[in-house]
Amino acid sequence: MFPNLKNQFFLDPDIIFLNHGSFGACARPIYENLLEWQSKLEEEPVKFFENTIINELKKSRMALGNYINCPSEDLVYFPNPTTAVNAVARSLKLSPGDEVLSTNHIYGALDRSWKYICDNKKANFIKAQVPFPIESKQEFLESIFKHITNKTKVIFLSHITSMTAIIFPIEEVIKFAKEKNILTIIDGAHVPGHIPLDIMKLDADIYTGACHKWMCTPKGISFLYVKKELQKNIHPLVISWGWESDNPGQSKFLDWHEWQGTRDMSAYLTIPAAVEFLNKYNWLEVGKRCQDQVIRTRNDFIDMLNISLPCPDNWLGQMASIPLPIGEADLFKNSLLEKYKIQVPVFKWEENIYLRYSIQAYNTNDDLNKLLSAVKEILS
Ligand SMILES: Cc1ncc(COP(=O)(O)O)c(C=O)c1O
């Protein structure tokens, strides 16, 4: 589809890679930037950790803040969204009987995190059943709103869901929660670099996103945004030098979360190079073209499998999940990989088996045609 961009990635040419969604794929210039930072670190480790890193992290947060529209001092880096959400959830003051509301589309690791935390605090973890297939925003909102009570203290929502690969229309939930004084925490793991993200406009209290997925950065870069007035409540997972710091920096929030002991933070410093890469190749346009391709392929699947529309077209970004008429996921997935060289996830979610394909700049029409004909052949 974008043959000029295929050579910007390291992907094995023998594999049809339709799983950008799980772990992303790093673009060459951004990876090269990582190696430059790592070399700099090893050339003079003391200078790097004592002088360079904090200033460079600041520049990196500024580039990210510009990209997702929020103040850079309200952002801290985390290796992944699960760690960021754990820092938040473990800090919350929940009392017995308080309610945390999420949905059945929650990412599995975070489902476990919230269950653990609510069990420990004797709070109730409630999962609204958002139907899939889904036809309208109204259906989504009703499924959430009917669970809001005067005990609801937190609403935790995926912005783009993992298993069902849909963009939840979260704006009205955030607005409603604000009126009711309910904390909103948004899991935007799939969002940055995938669909436009404007943190200030969205106005959630807390937002986490991964950069190593759709921003094509090296692995291990995610961020946590917390509104200024809430930052004092979000304690670090690891208590280190930034806690009761002898040399306080710009804010406790940054002191607490930025320094977590000696570790390689070089990847965090690649964000300016990543933003430059995405702008250079007009990533919004790339995303739109991938989205058209996602919808066309989804329509081909609907015709082939004679299934109903899983969701409205504008709920899809660069991924879609298609229900398959099979009872076992692993055999199907392995057959796609071994026989057809197609890397795509096939998994059980609730009662059905789904295939979730992702489309990125390096994919071609031919990749998608091969997926469609392989699925048809295996099912026949
Ligand atoms: C919706 C969603 N949330 C969070 C994550 C983050 O996962 P991890 O922290 O394991 O990298 C993912 C990863 O795929 C995801 O799809």
Return d(Cα 232, Cα 73) in angstroms, integer.
Answer: 13
Confidence class for position 252, pLDDT limits 50, 70, 90: very high
Q: Please report the atom of ligand 1 found closest to the CA of residue 21.
A: 14
Using CA positions, which residue lies closest to atom 14 of ligand 1? 22
Q: Which among 103, 107, 187 is the best mutation to test ligand 1's pocket, defined by most ligand atoms within 8 Å of the CB?
A: 107
Same domain, 238 and 354: no
Q: Please report the atom of ligand 1 found closest to the CA of residue 158.
A: 1
| Residue 45 CA, ligand 1 centroid: distance in Å | 32
Per residue in 118-135, pLDDT (tens digit) is 999 999 999 999 999 999
pLDDT on residue 2: 54
pLDDT on residue 3: 53
Residue 109 included in any domain:
yes
Mean pLDDT for the stretch of residues 132-159: 98
Please say if the pLDDT value at position 4 is more than 80.
no
Same domain, 274 and 289: no
Closest by CA position to 206, among listed 56, 95, 300, 91: 91
Q: Which residues line ligand 1 (CB under 6 A)?
A: 22, 80-82, 107, 109-110, 158, 162, 187, 189-190
pLDDT on residue 114: 98
Per residue in 182-241, pLDDT (tens digit) is 999 999 999 999 999 999 999 999 999 999 999 999 999 999 999 999 999 999 999 999
pLDDT on residue 350: 96
What residues make up the domain containing 251?
Answer: 31-278
pLDDT on residue 229: 98
Residue 23 included in any domain:
no
Residue 24 included in any domain:
no
Same domain, 40 and 86: yes
Q: Which of 224, 257, 278 represents a domain boundary (last residue)?
A: 278
Q: Which among 19, 23, 82 is the best mutation to test ligand 1's pocket, defined by most ligand atoms within 8 Å of the CB?
A: 82
Same domain, 245 and 158: yes
Residue 364: count of CB within 10 angstroms of its CB: 15
| Residue 162 CA, ligand 1 centroid: distance in Å | 7
Q: Please report the atom of ligand 1 found closest to the CA of residue 210.
A: 6
Cα radius of gyration rounded to whole Å, the chain: 21
Which CATH number do you get for residue 46? 3.40.640.10
- In sign, the C-alpha dihedral spanning 125, 176, 69, 159 is positive
pLDDT on residue 26: 98
Closest by CA position to 182, among listed 208, 209, 231, 145: 145
Return d(Cα 380, Cα 366) in angstroms, integer.
Answer: 21
**Contact status, residue 63 vs residue 270, Cβ threshold 8 Å:** no
| Residue 107 CA, ligand 1 centroid: distance in Å | 6
pLDDT on residue 230: 98
List beta partners, residue 342: 16
pLDDT on residue 8: 96
Q: Which of 252, 278, 304 represents a domain boundary (last residue)?
A: 278
Percent of the chain with pLDDT over 90: 99
The DSSP line for 2-59 is -HHHHTTB---TTSEE--HHHH---BHHHHHHHHHHHHHHHHSHHHIIIIIHHHHHHH
Same domain, 214 and 358: no
Same domain, 140 and 220: yes
Q: Which of 278, 308, 343 represents a domain boundary (last residue)?
A: 278
| Residue 191 CA, ligand 1 centroid: distance in Å | 11
Mean pLDDT for the stretch of residues 289-315: 97
Confidence class for position 371, pLDDT limits 50, 70, 90: very high
Same domain, 154 and 201: yes
Mean pLDDT for the stretch of residues 83-93: 97
Mean pLDDT for the stretch of residues 282-309: 96
Q: Which among 77, 102, 110 is the best mutation to test ligand 1's pocket, defined by most ligand atoms within 8 Å of the CB?
A: 110
Mean pLDDT for the stretch of residues 93-113: 98
Please say if the pLDDT value at position 321 is more than 70.
yes
Residue 297: count of CB within 10 angstroms of its CB: 21
Same domain, 234 and 192: yes
| Residue 245 CA, ligand 1 centroid: distance in Å | 32
CA distances from residue 179 to 195, 226, 237 in whole angstroms, order as listed: 27, 18, 30
Please say if the pLDDT value at position 180 is more than 90.
yes
| Residue 148 CA, ligand 1 centroid: distance in Å | 25
**Contact status, residue 275 vs residue 67, Cβ threshold 8 Å:** yes
What average pLDDT does the chain have? 97
Same domain, 165 and 47: yes
Residue 214 included in any domain:
yes
Q: Please report the atom of ligand 1 found closest to the CA of residue 23.
A: 14
Residue 26 included in any domain:
no
Which CATH number do you get for residue 291? 3.90.1150.10
Same domain, 135 and 48: yes
Residue 108 included in any domain:
yes
List beta partners, residue 357: 320
CA distances from residue 164 to 21, 101, 113, 356 in whole angstroms, order as listed: 12, 19, 20, 8
Using CA positions, which residue lies closest to atom 1 of ligand 1? 162
Same domain, 11 and 100: no
Residue 90 included in any domain:
yes
Q: Which among 23, 160, 162 is the best mutation to test ligand 1's pocket, defined by most ligand atoms within 8 Å of the CB?
A: 162
Same domain, 173 and 270: yes
Residue 25 included in any domain:
no
Q: Structurally, how many domains does the chain consist of?
A: 2
Please say if the pLDDT value at position 1 is more than 60.
no
| Residue 47 CA, ligand 1 centroid: distance in Å | 34
Q: Please report the atom of ligand 1 found closest to the CA of residue 82.
A: 9
